Amino acid sequence: MNVITRAIRVVAPMAIAVATGSPAFAQIDFAGEWNQRMHEEREHRAGGVRLGDYLGLPLNDAGRLKADSWDASILSLPERQTMPHPSPYGFRGPANLRIQKILDPRTQEAIAFTVYGTFAAQMRTIWLDGRPHPSEYAPHTWQGFSTGQWEGDMLTIRTTHVKTGWLYRNGVAHSEHVVMWEHWIRNGDIMTWINIVDDPVYLEEPLIRTTDWMLTPEQQLGPRRSDVVDEVVGLPRGYVPHYLPGTNPFLSSEAERFGIPFEAVRGGKATTYPEYQLRLRELMREAGTRPQSSR
């Protein structure tokens, strides 16, 4: 075998691999139809968390006051009836998703994922092409601006420029200064979403949650259809439903329901840790009560 023949036999397979092969490291494909598994906090997410229940949420005083002032009937206002879930809550609420991959037509590299679904059928884009986040003065949207980068088989996403929205559907809010980190991990037909929300305005420390999704090829998502109607008649023009400090009658209902101290349902970073159970037992002994065994 001469030198030229040997070179062809070595170089030709390498050229084919370059033309048709995979990237330097594996990038998991998240594209597909995904159905949410509701085995975590099902009652909170499907039926909706109750008013005044902040247990396990790292709220600071400002976040607690914001939630205490919230009146659920505010959602009956015409301008709020079609408000979508913001991205820090969208994956957590009851919804299904369609994830699609956008390819560069020349290089065939993935430059973005789009996520369609959640309440109000939002379309979210996660950019993978290295573009920077916009100026802090750029407009904020419900889905924000998201960029992702690969860490092995895990996609890590950073989101900024989100409008003021909610973390739970009982008035627990995040501000427009929120920064959200996400990790997408896929194992076969299961995708795990790790969500880390950092908000210097309403949270004492980041809120961390996880959600699992199952690949559901037969799922079909359509457009969202909704009508704006007068749900509550007789409201004065310009009135915004709310509770002034100290007037919300529902704040103690969750503590009374389970027979636990009022302090526990007020939230705070201490309530997010397992060690808080020791504090809760101490409070129960002092009060001479015991929590209900089940819901």
Instruction: Delimit the domains of the chain by residue range.
Output: 32-49+74-215
Identify the pLDDT of residue 248: 95
Q: How far is CA 16 from CA 64, 145, 294, in A?
A: 60, 37, 63
Residues in the chain: 295
pLDDT, tens digit (0-9, with 9 covering 90-100), for 256-280: 988 889 999 999 999 999 999 999 9
Q: Determine what percent of the chain is predicted with pLDDT higher than 70.
A: 87
Identify the pLDDT of residue 292: 58
Identify the pLDDT of residue 50: 85
- Residue 207's H or E segment, with its range, is strand 207-215
Q: Determine what percent of the chain is predicted with pLDDT higher than 90.
A: 61
**Rg for the chain (alpha carbons), in Å?**
24
Confidence of residue 23 (pLDDT cuts 50, 70, 90): very low
Confidence of residue 103 (pLDDT cuts 50, 70, 90): very high
pLDDT, tens digit (0-9, with 9 covering 90-100), for 146-177: 999 999 999 999 999 999 999 998 999 999 99
| Residue 222: Cβ within 10 Å count | 6
User: Looking at the predicted structure, is the pLDDT value of residue 55 above 50?
Assistant: yes
Q: What is the pTM of this model?
A: 0.84
- 215 contact partners, CB below 8 Å, separation of at least 6: 32, 33, 34, 35, 189, 190, 191
Identify the pLDDT of residue 209: 92
pLDDT, tens digit (0-9, with 9 covering 90-100), for 133-148: 999 999 999 999 999 9
- CA-to-CA distance for 205 and 210, rounded, in angstroms? 17
As a CATH number, domain 32-49+74-215 is 2.40.128
